[in-house]
Structure 1
Amino acid sequence: MGTDYVHGYTPAESRRLTDQAQTLADLLHAGIRYPAGSRVLEAGCGVGAQTLQLVTRSPGIDLVSVDISEESLAQAKARIAAVGAQVDWHHGDLLDLPFPDESFDHVFVCFVLEHLPKPEEALVELRRLIRPAGTITVIEGDHESAFYHPRSTAAQAAIDCLVDLQAASGGDALIGRRLQPLLKDAGYGDVRAWPCTVYADETLPHLVDGFTRRTFVAMVESVRERALAAGMRTPAEWQAGIRDLEKTAAPGGTFHYTFFTSVGRKC
């Protein structure tokens, strides 16, 4: 299950993922605590930004983290080694994981399904690995939930480039809204989903900087070369869109975005 990671494997993207995880830790990990001794699979750990939250917030778990990118795994290993935590690392494809049936008490998946051409197949494969009554937790965003002030046609066009490029690579930047039916159709029971909303204005400078500027605007900027190469925007049009998007992080600007979390159980 090769995947074309639309944001690219760059130092800038690693920084963005780290900023995102740190800024949104309390929002995205609210209520996610695994009992000590639980065997937990993190499917698609990337550079370890969310791995750090898992080992910090659920001490004593037996964590296994998997990713398809060896470069990302190397960064994840270094990140976790720096805090002295123990993680069992594996390089592998989510559709072909080398674990026996019912190997894990819980599975955690964050910002992964959006990049997969067939997220349903990945969810079915992960269900195979969960013990009876065990759980899966999935977190994804939805780029059409972004609305902001000042309004800007140019800024929206830049965001739309990201959405369209991700679709062209087989992903879905709007997948957050359909997590509940995805998990249900993959055979999970007791499926629940809920929104996790971020709102930032000048009274919340940590969110303006950590989310609006360093997470969302940086995410859109990451596809600049692809958007220009595809002829979606001219360089001047792209720059105008980014300039207008940056105004939402300036005094008087506001920004809103919604993530979605869904939890299902192995029946």
Structure 2
Amino acid sequence: MDRTDYVHGYSEREAERLNDQARTLTSLLHNDTRYPAGSRVLEAGCGTGAQTVILAKNSPGAEITSIDISPESLRRAEERVRSEGIENVTFRAGDLFSLPFGPQSFDHVFVCFVLEHLPNPRRALASLRPLIRPGGTITVIEGDHGSAYFHPDSAGAQKAIRCLVDLQREAGGNALIGRELYPLLVSAGYTDVQVSPRMVYVDASRPALVDGFTRQTFTAMVDGVKKTAIGRGMMTKDAWEQAIADLERTCEPGGVFCYTFFKGTGTAAGWDPGT
């Protein structure tokens, strides 16, 4: 299986974090992704369904097929989607590199927070292209941990973030992949590629983002690798706890936190089955 380990793990807390992230960033990341009624849409790598719910609600008339390689994630995703009364999503198990669909099976493909965990994201994008009808589109959303900056600044907090980046790289992923979306999509054979930065800016005037993004999404994600980072000797326990406290301090009055996601789109032209 050509796929890296999921560095954040599969705990209940991680599922909650993903849900917080999706809910908090709905408008920023998804407001311009809506598919016409009757469209065949593949969500490649649905995880626990945090993005699936938003995708399906934005395009209630589309026929969405959501796949993931993890049976447990698929179970959670289906439970979440059905609990929302959503009926336009079908779930299937599948490896992104060898999906059980014929050429031109879909009008559109949606990939969100998946490429960062793959050792060969360009090949993943290339493997999806034949599944899209000519003229159909792909939409890809990824973060970039190198884009995080905040006030008050903290060398310790920056080091903790770097621990997460390094651990993900060692596992075969890339936590800085957002900045690479344009060349990845172009090299995978898509045309009309466009990438737009989506910055999350958080201060005390935006309390929902303070809690939903800075605290429950980003800081929780960094702190999720605490045990591994300390166990590997990347930071001491005291230094780690101070780093997380410094990130929490950006949630207080006078604190500021910024992070940039990248959203890329491209068109699938005709393809050569020999490539």
TM-score w.r.t. length of structure 1: 0.99
**Unaligned runs of at least 5 residues, structure 1:** none
Report whether the alignment pairs 1:221 with 2:226.
no
**Unaligned runs of at least 5 residues, structure 2:** 270-275
What percentage of residue pairs aligned between the two structures are identical?
60
CA contact (8 A) 2:160 2:240 kept: yes
Provide the residue aligned with 2:97 in structure 1: 95
Output aligned runs, 1:109-120, within 5 Å: 109-120=111-122
1:146-194 per-position Cα deviation (integer Å, ceiling 9, x unaligned)? 0000010111111110000000000000000010110000000000001
Q: CA deviation at 1:234?
A: 1.0
- Residue among 103, 124, 135 paired with 2:126: 124
Q: Distance in 1 between matches of 2:149 and 2:4?
A: 28
Provide the residue aligned with 2:7 in structure 1: 6
Provide the residue aligned with 1:134 in structure 2: 136
Q: Distance in 1 between matches of 2:147 and 2:101?
A: 36
Report whether the alignment pairs 1:160 with 2:162.
yes
Provide the residue aligned with 1:252 in structure 2: 254
Provide the residue aligned with 1:182 in structure 2: 184
- Residue among 236, 243, 246 paired with 2:245: 243
Please list every run of at least 4 consecutive aligned residues from structure 1 whose deviation after the TM superposition is greater than 3 angstroms: none
Provide the residue aligned with 1:26 in structure 2: 27
Q: Distance in 1 between matches of 2:131 and 2:227?
A: 39
Match of 2:85, SS? Answer: coil
Match of 2:181, SS? Answer: helix
Provide the residue aligned with 1:73 in structure 2: 74
Q: Single out whichever of 82-91 and 235-244 deviates more from structure 2.
A: 82-91
TM-score w.r.t. length of structure 2: 0.96
Q: Distance in 2 between matches of 1:83 and 1:142?
A: 30
For 1:27, give the aligned amino acid: L
For 2:24, give the aligned amino acid: T
Q: CA deviation at 1:30?
A: 2.1
Provide the residue aligned with 1:82 in structure 2: 83
1:44-76 per-position Cα deviation (integer Å, ceiling 9, x unaligned)? 000000000011111111000001111111100
Q: CA deviation at 1:255?
A: 0.1
Provide the residue aligned with 2:273 in structure 1: none
1:87-128 per-position Cα deviation (integer Å, ceiling 9, x unaligned)? 111111100100001100000000000000000110011101
Provide the residue aligned with 2:49 in structure 1: 48
Match of 1:139, SS? Answer: strand
Q: Distance in 2 between matches of 1:183 and 1:97?
A: 19
Q: CA deviation at 1:212?
A: 0.3
For 1:40, give the aligned amino acid: V
For 1:50, give the aligned amino acid: Q
